Structure 1
C-alpha cells in the first residue's frame, strides 16, 4: 500500500472517530444544558386541591434537583382536560409539563367528547407522583356502619338509594361503578361538580352514599356526620387503618381502583430530557420531607419502580369495561 493510501486511510479513520464522538456529544450536551430557563407545570385544577398539592410538591422537587425555577400554572376547566390539551399542544422541549390525575390521563376521554387528545399517544410519561385511594362513605341518615350492612341494605332496596361522585367519567365515578358491578347492586349515580356540595349533602342527609377523597371526607368523618365504609385501594389507607379495604369483603374480593397523580410532557420529548426529569422526580420523591408532604395531603408516595405508561394502559382497559357496564355518558 502506498504512503498516500495509508495517509488517506488514517485521515478517514480520524474523521470517522471525530464524527462518532460528535454524534455522542449532542445528546450529552443537550442533557447537560437542560434546563436553562424556568419550567412550567400546568395543573387542571384550582389551587388548594389534591392535584394542585401534588404539583407543588413536584415543583419543589424539580427546583431542588434541577437547580432551576419551576412554577405552577393552574388552568382549570373540564375536569383537567383544558390543562392537558394545552400541554399536548406545547413544544416538546421539557419546559411545559403536566401534573395530571387519573381523570384526564386515563378516565375521562372514554366518556367525554370534549377530550380531543389521546393520553397514550399524545403524552410522554415522566413518572408517578402518588396514588390517591378514595373512600366509600355513608351519609348521616343512612342506617349503616359497615360494608356488610351497606350491601345488604342496597340489595333489599334496589334502585331506592343513590351515591354521588365528582362527575361522570371521573375516577370516583368508576370506583362507584366497580362496587356496583362486583357486588351486583342497583344504586343510582348522582354526579356533582365538586366535593364541597357532595360532602354537604352527605352530612345533611340528602345524599345516601358517595365515593369521595379522604381529605374532603375527614372533617365529616371525625364529627360523626359521615361514616367511612371502605377504602378503594387493595390495602388499608395508612391514615385510616380502622377502615377496611373494599377488597376485604367476600363480594368485593380483589377490588382495587385508585386515583393517581403523575407528571407528563408533550409527545416527542427528547429521551435524554425525559430521563433527566424522571431521575430528578424519583430522587426527590425518595426523600422523607417530600414524601411526608404528599402523605399529609392524603396521598401515598410511590415506591419508585412504577411504570407510568403501564399504569395508564391498564387503567384505560379497566375503565373501558366499566363504561360498557354502566353505559356511561357525559
Structure 2
C-alpha cells in the first residue's frame, strides 16, 4: 500500500499536469481563433484572385442574359477581375439557380436570380432543388422591368377601365396571352382579374415573340408583354398599350398610365433580377461585390445602356437592403399567388 505522503504527492503532480494541459489547450484555442480571425480579412482583401463565374439561368439573348453581360463587363472593370458568363437554362430558371447555389460559397461562382426562380417557382408548386429562403444570399439588385397590358388595335377600348367594362359585358368571350403559364405576366393579369372580377381566358405561349405575332395578327385580344418587347413594337399601328404594371410610369413609354392610376391602388408588379451567392459566403466578399455593383450602376454609361435595353432606373442597395427587398417581394408574391390560386396544375 503506498505511503499517504506519496499519494498526496502523486495527486498534486496530476493536478499540476491537468492544469498545465488546460492552460496549453486554452492558449492553443486562442491562437487558432486569432489566426482564423486574421485569415478572414486577409482572404477578403485578396478577393478576387481568379476568374469569377456568373451563371445566367436563361438562354443567351434574352433580357436577363443582356443585363447579366452588361453587369459582368462593369464588374470586370470595377474589380480588375475576369468574369465568365455561363448560360444554364431550364425549368423556369431553377436549373441555373440550383447550379449557382450548389457551388462552393467562396465568391467565385455567382448567380443571376430572376423573380421566377427566386420566389415564384416554389410558390406555384414547382419542385425546386434548393430552399429559396435559406440557400440564397442576395448581393444587389440587377435591374427591373414592368409588364405592359396591350390589346390588338381594333379592340374598341382606349384605357384599362374600358377594357374592364368590355370584359364584364362579355364574360368568357375575351382571351389574353402570356409568355407562359406560371410566369409573372400570367400571375399579374390573373391578379387584375381577381381585383376587377373578370372572366377572361388565358392562352399561354412559349415566349414573347409568338405572343406578339398573334396579338398583331388579331388572333388574340389582349397580350401581356415585357417592357422591352413592348418598346420594340411601340411604333406598330397594330397594338395599343393600356397600362404598365409598375408603381410608376415606364420612362420608355411615358404616355402609358400605370394600373394603379386606373383605380387599382397599390398594384405594383415588376420582374427583376438580383445578383446572388450561395449561403455561407463570407460577408466581406458579399460587401466587396455589392460595392462594385453600386459603382457600376453609378456610371452614366451603365444607366444609358440599361435604359436602352428597356430597364427601369437602377436602385442602389446594400446587401441588407437587397435581402430586405427580396423578403418584401416574397410577401407580395405570396399574396398574389394566394389570391389568384395559380399553380402548375392550373
| TM-score, normalisation: structure 2 | 0.86
2:190, 2:324 → 1: CA distance? 23
1:326 and 2:340 matched:
yes
Contact 2:231/2:253, CA 8 A, preserved across alignment: no
Q: Is the 8 A contact 1:45 1:52 kept in 2?
A: yes
Q: Structure 1 residues 63 and 309 mapped into 2: Cα distance closer, same or farther (>3 Å)?
A: same
Q: d(CA) in 2 for partners of 1:112 and 1:194?
A: 21
Shift of residue 116 of structure 1? 2.5
Find the partner of 1:180 among 193, 208, 213. 193
Aligned residues: 316
Q: Are the aligned partners of 2:171 and 2:200 in contact in 1 as well (CA < 8 Å)?
A: yes
Hey, what does 1:98 align to over in structure 2?
111
Partner of 1:11: none
How far apart are 1:15 and its partner, in Å? 10
Residues 1:75 and 1:16: Cα distance change in structure 2 (over 3 Å)? closer
| Residues 115 and 20 of structure 1, relative CA distance in 2, 3 Å threshold | closer
TM-score normalised by the chain length of structure 1:
0.90
SS of the residue aligned with 2:104? coil
Could you tell me how far 1:41 is from its partner in structure 2? 0.7
Which of residues 269, 292, 300 is equivalent to 1:257? Answer: 269
Gaps in structure 1 of 5+ consecutive residues = 1-13
Question: Post-superposition shift, 1:199?
Answer: 0.6
Alignment of 1:150-229 (within 5 A): 150-229=163-242
Counterpart Cα distance in 2 of 1:63 and 1:305: 19
2:248 to 222, 235, 249: 235
Answering whether residue 335 of structure 2 is matched by residue 295 of structure 1, we say: no
Shift >3 Å, 4+ stretches: 14-24
Counterpart secondary structure, 1:221: coil
In structure 2, distance between residues paired with 1:274 and 1:52: 22
In structure 2, C-alpha distance between the alignment counterparts of 1:101 and 1:245, rounded to whole Å: 23
User: What are structure 2's unaligned runs of at least 5 residues?
Assistant: 1-26
Change (3 A) 1:325 1:188: farther
8 Å CA contact 2:143, 2:315 repeated in 1? no
Please tell me whether residue 284 in structure 1 is matched to residue 296 in structure 2. Answer: yes
TM-align CA RMSD: 2.1
Q: Is the 8 A contact 1:140 1:226 kept in 2?
A: yes
- How do residues 41-60 of structure 1 correspond to structure 2 at under 5 angstroms? 41-60=54-73
Contact 2:121 2:128 (C-alpha < 8 Å) held by counterparts:
yes
Aligned-partner SS, 1:168: coil
Query: Equivalent residue for 2:136?
Result: 123
